[in-house]
Amino acid sequence: MRTQRSHLGLLFLLSSALLAASFAQERKNYVVHLEPREDVSTDSVEEWHRSFLPEATLDSASDDGPRIIHSYSHVLNGFAARLTDAEAESLRNKEGCLRLYPEEFLPLATTHSPGFLGLHLGKDSFWSRSGFGRGVVIGLLDTGILPSHPSFGDAGLPPPPKKWKGTCEFRSIGAGGCNNKVIGARAFGSAAINNTAPPVDDAGHGTHTASTAAGNFVQNADVRGNAHGTASGMAPHAHLAIYKVCARSRCSIMDIIAGLDAAVKDGVDVLSFSISATDGAQFNYDLIAVATFKAMEHGIFVSAAAGNDGPVVGTIRNGAPWMLTVAAGTMDRAIRTTVRLGNGQEFDGESLFQPRNNTAGRQLPLVFPGRNGDPDARDCSTLVEAEVSGKVVLCESRSIGEHVEQGQMVSAYGGAGMILMNKAAEGYTTFADAHVLPASHVSYAAGSKIAAYIKSTPKPTATITFRGTVMGSSPAPSVAFFSSRGPNKASPGILKPDITGPGMNILAAWAPSEMHPEFADDVSLTFFMESGTSMSTPHLSGIAAIIKSLHPSWSPAAIKSAIMTSSNVADHAGVPIKDEQYRRASFYSMGAGYVNPSRAVDPGMVYDLSTNEYIAYLCGLGLGDDGVKEIVGRRIACAKLKAITEAELNYPSLVVKLLSQPITVRRTVTNVGAANSVYTAVVGMPKDVSVVVRPPMLRFSRANEKQSFSVTVRWNGQPAVGGAEGNLKWVSKEHVVRSPIVIPPAKAVA
């Protein structure tokens, strides 16, 4: 017996050793960032990358595919590879290797909007004069598209521009494929698993965002009879280049960098990026920031999602100053529902599900499963059929994307309807979701009153009536609760987000997907509504394409300045834009304001920026020579440069970390309006802040003339603990060029 046990023990030890060895040899994916080398030609880049791997490594890949997954040469010096722990450690210590990044997966930041933004048809409209973005190429990094969708038809579009170098990977899939609208399509890495048609959308997200940016005109668009009208993107005659870097909702950083690398090589003009980058990472540790810096150097405008982690402060994503960071706001269209209680109180809400056979006015029993405090019952995660069957059920909302699932739960337990009420932090932001039963999404204020009514009477009742599409809803626009807030942790002295665009209940092209299984088999459904900074981002991408079409020589910084300085801080009623609580929105929630395309195409003056100015700013952040080198892709000696502070970067907004002493910064503007223009400085700040602008007047005598001015900011008396916000406006007869001024709260400055 003792011998048998010893044999068993030996077998156990051997198997454990083999298992340990197996784990030690397990390969993981990495992005390898290398020192810049100018002596390597494009043709030999991959050979150079292979030289960093041991010979044994190169020959041992048969069981796991190629060891080098991607070679990067345009936005990053480096490659993506499968490595064991030992190989990774060896590579870290090898000369020429800057950093290894383990593979991570980044989340997606997931008809009426052109009209709401002032984009109208007509031969004299600026939209028509721009040719609807004609000749501009928008690159979209997302989940691919459904190419057969009518939004991607090419009626009225010219052939691709001569500079275009991209390719099309669509296979034979029926009516769809590349044309003069979709001029390129590629898939990368895990997003290319489907060999029959790699760039085809399997999530619906990319189809939606691509059509928002540049979908062609499609008449009679609606979603189940709601929001009827002509659908189009912001730049309906711009070209689209599709880079599928996400498989369903998973976006590998390796594939994202490969997509960015290809987009720069192919010759896109605008990049639309509806993916959430790492939260607050130092820029040289943030591969998206590194890659988009090179895109900016190539003259490419980058529009990126601010993220969906609001309303918590400091949650901003994609916060590098060379990107336009886009927040999400509402419009004045609602897919209206009304809840009427047994006591006669009425509360408006929203739902995309608008049943025609619903019996209006019929009161049903109303129940709140969470009235006793059980959190799972409160959001309808747990229900008892006997308590909800045949009743209208009040549920507290879960996170974005789970609202329909809540209704499915209520329906499965026999509920006749659902009232979805916001949590306190969500305020008045409501979604028009595709519910599976009669439902109404109401605000926190309305939900609290409904809950109080249930508690006040032994037999509460309610009914839900459906009113369809309602225009002119107010206040509009406002900032959506989920839109991520500044400041940006990596660089709090640069105001982020930059701008707000439409991101709530956006109607755009639809592709059947696993993300919406309730409609996956509905082939008649060609448009759908989605919400998120994913949706606001392509609005700004398309608007940037319009500006680029009218002003092809403008730099990305000039286009960004035009968008920011022309934006609105007042809503359609002429009062300050509000946040999700209907309080005055701060610049940390909405950026410079809500985008105004009609003014952005003719801004009067712009704040331009060069690569060298960004480098001086990076040196001022204290990243050191090596940290700056990782971002800009070449050796930098910060000691030989004049480093600048964040406030000194020639940005269209101004964050002043003000304590007891006054601070003076300079700005330079370029006249892009009439040759002979005169601008007067107008400052609007709280009375406890003094702002002096010198000179107080700018006189231009020619187009593209540059002039500089200084801004001195000081407290009048004791510093305000809560900080302050205001504006500097340069006003001429034709233009108002506005820059936000933000003094952060004292605790953020200390």
Q: Is the dihedral of CA 534, 540, 546, 548 positive or negative?
A: negative
For residue 44, give the amino acid letter.
Answer: S
- In DSSP notation, 524-572 reads T--EEEE-SHHHHHHHHHHHHHHHHHH-TT--HHHHHHHHHHT-BSB-T
Neighbours of 220 (CB within 10 A): 8
Identify whether 236 is preceded by a cis peptide bond (ω within 30 of 0): no
726 — phi, psi (to 5°)?
A: -170, -160
Distance CA 557, CA 610 (A): 8
**Dihedral class, residue 505 (left if φ above 0, else alpha if ψ from -120 to 50, else beta):** left
Annotated catalytic, 261? no
Of all helices (H) and strands (E), which one includes residue 430?
none
Distance CA 555, CA 611 (A): 11
Neighbours of 24 (CB within 10 A): 10
Which tokens sit at 578? Answer: 């509000």
Q: In what order do the strands lie in the sheet with 605-606?
A: 605-606, 663-671, 706-715, 689-694
**Catalytic one among 33, 149, 205, 237?**
205
Of all helices (H) and strands (E), which one includes residue 339?
strand 333-341
Q: Taking Cα atoms as reference points, which of 235, 233, 243 lies closest to residue 267?
A: 243
Given a contact cutoff of 8 angstroms between Cβ atoms, the answer to whether 541 and 137 are in contact is: no
473 — phi, psi (to 5°)?
A: -60, 145
**Catalytic one among 71, 411, 483, 534?**
534
Given a contact cutoff of 8 angstroms between Cβ atoms, the answer to whether 488 and 319 are in contact is: yes
Distance CA 185, CA 408 (A): 36
Look at strands 736-743 and 724-731 and give their pairing: antiparallel
**Catalytic one among 33, 142, 237, 272?**
142
Q: Taking Cα atoms as reference points, which of 208, 263, 217 lies closest to residue 237?
A: 217
Helix, strand, or coil (residue 275):
strand
Helix, strand, or coil (residue 278):
coil
Count of alpha carbons within 13 angstroms of residue 624, beta-carbon side: 4
DSSP character for 160?
P
Given a contact cutoff of 8 angstroms between Cβ atoms, the answer to whether 289 and 320 are in contact is: yes
Distance CA 47, CA 24 (A): 27
Annotated catalytic, 142? yes
Give catalytic residues, as residue numbers.
142, 205, 534
